């Protein structure tokens, strides 16, 4: 199970682009594309910029009117799916 204290890495095999407020991710190993909506794209951008998962979560909490517990659950659910698809990796500390 992921937690907000895990360290995440975007693998070199993942290419991505931002389009308007969304993001399109490509796993170049599987040739599969994924679309992230506005909030997911913002999270991806924060991770791309080197923010930790907890820092990214805090930023989202400040930017969106959302319950903190719900946001944590949504962020971890999304990242769990991204991890399953090889779009992020957990880095062991």
Partner 1 sequence: MVWYRLAGQEFHFFGPVLEAAPFEITNMEEGVAGEAVPFVSASLPLNNLISCTEGWVANAKRRVETWLAPSGFLVRTEGGSDFTISQDGREIRCASQRQGEGKLDETDRQILLGPVIVLALALRGAWSLHSSAAINKDGMTVFLGESGQGKSSLAGYLANETGWRLVADDILPVTMGAESVLAWPHFPQLKLPVDAQPGLGLPEQLPISKVCVLSEADADEMPAFERLPASQAIQTYLGHTAGTRLFTPDLLGKHLAFCSQAAERVPVYRLAYPHRWEALPIVKDLLEKTC
User: Is there binding between residue 65 and partner 1 (CB under 8 A)?
Assistant: no
Within 22-51, the residues that bind partner 1 by CB under 8 A are: 22, 24, 26, 28-29, 31, 33, 35
For 71: left if phi > 0, alpha if psi spans -120 to 50, otherwise beta; the answer is alpha
Q: At a CB cut-off of 8 Å and minimum separation 6, what does 57 contact? A: 4, 71, 72, 75
Q: CB-based burial of residue 72 (10 Å sphere; 0-12 exposed, 13-18 middle, 19+ buried)? A: middle
Q: For partner 1, give the closer residue by CB, 11 or 64.
A: 11
- Which of 3, 7, 13, 68 is the binder for partner 1 (CB under 8 A)? 13
User: Is there binding between residue 70 and partner 1 (CB under 8 A)?
Assistant: no
Interacting residue ranges for partner 1, rule: CB under 8 A: 13, 15-20, 22, 24, 26, 28-29, 31, 33, 35
């Amino acid at each position: 199970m992921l937690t907000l204290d895990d360290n995440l890495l975007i693998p070199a095999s993942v290419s991505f682009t931002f389009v308007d407020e969304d993001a399109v991710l490509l796993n170049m190993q599987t040739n599969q594309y994924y679309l992230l909506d506005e909030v997911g794209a913002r999270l991806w951008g924060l991770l791309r910029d080197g923010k930790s998962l907890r820092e990214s979560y805090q930023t989202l909490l400040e930017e969106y009117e959302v319950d903190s517990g719900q946001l944590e659950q949504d962020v971890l659910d999304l990242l769990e799916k991204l991890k399953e698809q090889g779009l992020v990796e957990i880095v062991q500390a």
